Structure 1
């Protein structure tokens, strides 16, 4: 990261304010102030290490699409009470792998916890470690969504058999 003097001055002032407001982290802010005042470029990465890379729209859309599918599945399970759907291994949303799919998991948690969307998934939240599947799920979800598209299934009007074929994809 490159910072000119003006950027450094602005950040120094911000960190001085934060050091006064947040006594618990004052030492950390003072360290950042020293880095900026002295221009220790090698440590500039400490300034933004907590900021994630941007999540591409395609990834966000994928999460929204899979959550929509599971919303429709929850609706179907509620209506039919079909044991095959209720007991299917993939009948409940498992979430994403916290180690390998953390950006997907973080966005899913943001949608549910912060934005209050997809609240029907809250019931599985604690069952599966805050939607951490502990195994990669993206490929499974891609196959499920591909099945919906390939068979031209309307998820809001799907039959139990269609739902099972999606879950088995």
Structure 2
């Protein structure tokens, strides 16, 4: 998100916020003073410094996709616990591998937020350190989308699936 124009009111509000922050965070005072000067003088070319730490919004469909993938892996963990089937336990995709930090960083970041900050999908914590904080180091999104497509095509209820259905999903 690129800031290019701010009206005087917005600039005044931000100036006041940065003045407060410079008092609350003395170690960052010089940084806030720089931002204040940019705003006071209207140096539009440097407005990008004001929001450089804010990411673009993640669309709902991408968030939903991550939730669907994690739901599938929650169901797989449940099935592995119930059946103790070696084919599931040893299958390369039988554990959640995360997302590629270079090419799927938006998905990786959201996944980490769900697990670390919101405390959801805690069954994935066991793989967290095993695979570099869920960084797969290779693109995984296409694989996960194929797995979800298999569920839809075969009309599999993931919470009632059997080992054979799970394997067909993992082998997609």
* TM-score using structure 1 length: 0.98
Q: Cα deviation per residue 1:32-59 (whole Å; 9 max; x = unaligned)?
A: 0111011000000110111111110000
Cα distance in 1 for residues equivalent to 2:26 and 2:93: 47
The counterpart of 1:83, out of the listed 76, 79, 86, is 86
Alignment RMSD:
0.6
Q: Counterpart in 2 of 1:56?
A: 59
Cα distance in 2 for residues equivalent to 1:29 and 1:100: 33
Greater displacement, 74-83 / 22-31: 22-31
Q: Cα deviation per residue 1:30-89 (whole Å; 9 max; x = unaligned)?
A: 110111011000000110111111110000000000000000000000000000100000
Q: Counterpart in 1 of 2:159?
A: 156
> Is residue 165 from structure 1 mapped to residue 168 from structure 2 by the alignment?
yes
5 Å-filtered alignment, 1:48-127, equals: 48-127=51-130
5 Å-filtered alignment, 1:7-26, equals: 7-26=10-29
Unaligned runs of 5+ in 1: none
> Is residue 143 from structure 1 mapped to residue 146 from structure 2 by the alignment?
yes
Q: Counterpart in 2 of 1:29?
A: 32
Cα distance in 2 for residues equivalent to 1:60 and 1:52: 14
Following TM superposition, by how much is the alpha carbon of 1:27 offset from its aligned partner in structure 2, in angstroms?
A: 1.2
Following TM superposition, by how much is the alpha carbon of 1:99 offset from its aligned partner in structure 2, in angstroms?
A: 1.0
Cα distance in 1 for residues equivalent to 2:118 and 2:81: 24
Following TM superposition, by how much is the alpha carbon of 1:24 offset from its aligned partner in structure 2, in angstroms?
A: 1.7
How many equivalent pairs are there?
A: 169
Unaligned runs of 5+ in 2: none
* TM-score using structure 2 length: 0.97
Cα distance in 2 for residues equivalent to 1:51 and 1:138: 24
**Runs (4+) off by over 3 Å:** none
